[in-house]
Structure 1
């Protein structure tokens, strides 16, 4: 039997190799290669995302020492989350309201721009793309400082609006309108680029078919163009709303002193309030959970097969 097994395992005289054995060996090695390729990314996420997230969860359940501000001990104090939901509910409401308004305004501004870049720009497309991404070459805080000058009481924007009697309070700076304007400007490229990518991949012949079927421009846009661009609209909405809801820079530099967003509360609890780490961590987790729920419901309602 051993001689027969050895004979059957030898390669044929022509030196040819069994292709089934080659494929089996390749398939046996392939999973290890895939795991090795995934290892750097998994380590990066584990060290710089999962571990800090677990540490933040542990801090959110800690309790402060009585009569010793700034000191706390490990505990399972769920009262931090109760305080986050009760004492700071208005801050969550303002954050979601301002972020939603900025997202809607960014969509109304971004879609015509993305449409023009995809179908009408021609040789100007590259220049328009540079105009969209050029703000990224400047610091986020510097751009917001620039908006504080643009919306200042002595700026030409405010003077023009006051001349036309379109500004009820005679000022823009330190108002919710200034916060929404700053959020819209700072996150507008995150709305333009995904929509442009979806429209740029769309087949123009499909859109032209709507006109061939005697549909007017509005009907063609509603039934053909907009559904084809929904993956980009969905991605742009999420990329705009999520960072805008947790932003605190625009409120700090453009908004009123009272009625801040939840991001400002988290920043103050971490940096200015002694012993505020547990409340800040609980607020952070509550904000993250609320955004995840809203994103899940939004994707379930308006998502596409490519994203669900």
Structure 2
């Protein structure tokens, strides 16, 4: 039964009787209880490590794990890390941007074909896109090391072409690193694009054709704007992990193709905590800043 609460009437006379449902209060408490596990998880495994990372970046760089680090608020760690590894930062973002553009150019036609042209083959093609996730990231990258090796059939086939030099090398080059990044993160581009294009109303494209728009014009003015949420989501899901990746550079590159993830990994393994933490914080801040600018410039502020 509903609980009754007496509230004085508007004229101070007979009080109004209002019904309050205890179930409403229980539903409100239930919502907070459902949020509790996720909140605790974020506090323990996101906020606490983040605070620890920022604190480590301000340690006295003269310390070590053996002697211990002192919290001196040494902001100079950031300037020192940037001056020493600035070129690696630029290279990492350049590789990630190139791989993201390559994923977009490859992934958009594929997502378009799956969403609008595949018909009864749609599910099979989606499985083919997702299938690489069933294999270890490391194994997928090692397979490219075999494919791009000096004695691989790919290199031999290219060397057989008249315009390709006989001493062609693909492995341990920037092209190999970008190829590995593109392959490994291509599904992260295709799936958001498919989700946007699958909801595309083809009647809008047909209407553009009825208004004498060429196929390219209809694609530019109708298809691309409607697919923009998928484009933005796909580029973010590709660029962010690619910028911090170090496996592809480690296995497919050389010392001159090192990315910032390689340096951070080596510094942490060498227990150089202040520099490694400073690089990690700067990488996160740079990515967040780039993402915020990109999302606002793309006109999809609701994704921020």
Seen in structure 2, the aligned counterparts of structure 1 residues 122 and 66 have a Cα distance that, compared at 3 Å, is closer
Residue 259 of structure 1 and its aligned partner are, at CA, apart by: 3.9
Residue 67 of structure 1 and its aligned partner are, at CA, apart by: 9.2
Which 10-residue stretch deviates more, 222-231 or 197-206?
197-206
Partner of 2:35: 38
Partner of 1:278: 274
Query: Which portions of structure 1, spanning 4 or more consecutive aligned residues, are displaced by more than 6 angstroms?
Result: 66-70
Residue 33 of structure 1 and its aligned partner are, at CA, apart by: 2.3
Q: SS where residue 117 of structure 1 aligns? A: helix
Residue 64 of structure 1 and its aligned partner are, at CA, apart by: 3.7
Q: 1:10-159 residue pairs with structure 2 within 5 A? A: 21-22=19-20, 25-65=22-62, 71-159=68-156
Separation of aligned partners in 1, 2:120 and 2:141: 32
Q: SS where residue 99 of structure 1 aligns? A: helix
1:64–1:71 contact (8 Å) kept in structure 2: no
Deviations 1:134-193 (A, max 9, x none): 000000001000000011111121122222234696100000000000000000000000
Q: 1:160-175 residue pairs with structure 2 within 5 A? A: 160-164=157-161, 165-166=163-164, 170-175=168-173
For this pair of structures, how many residues does the alignment match?
A: 292
Deviations 1:17-70 (A, max 9, x none): x996246x4544443222111111111111111111111111111114469977
Q: Mind listing any 5+ residue stretches in structure 2 that lack a counterpart?
A: 8-15
Partner of 1:299: 295
Deviations 1:77-96 (A, max 9, x none): 11211112111100000000
Separation of aligned partners in 2, 1:208 and 1:161: 43
Separation of aligned partners in 2, 1:67 and 1:117: 54
Q: SS where residue 88 of structure 1 aligns? A: helix
Separation of aligned partners in 2, 1:19 and 1:303: 51
Separation of aligned partners in 2, 1:32 and 1:102: 46
Q: SS where residue 61 of structure 1 aligns? A: coil
Separation of aligned partners in 1, 2:164 and 2:19: 79
Separation of aligned partners in 2, 1:67 and 1:196: 49
Separation of aligned partners in 2, 1:66 and 1:226: 54
Separation of aligned partners in 2, 1:167 and 1:40: 60
Separation of aligned partners in 1, 2:64 and 2:302: 55
Q: Mind listing any 5+ residue stretches in structure 1 that lack a counterpart?
A: 1-5, 10-17
1:65–1:71 contact (8 Å) kept in structure 2: no
- CA-based RMSD: 2.4
Partner of 1:228: 226
Seen in structure 2, the aligned counterparts of structure 1 residues 301 and 168 have a Cα distance that, compared at 3 Å, is farther
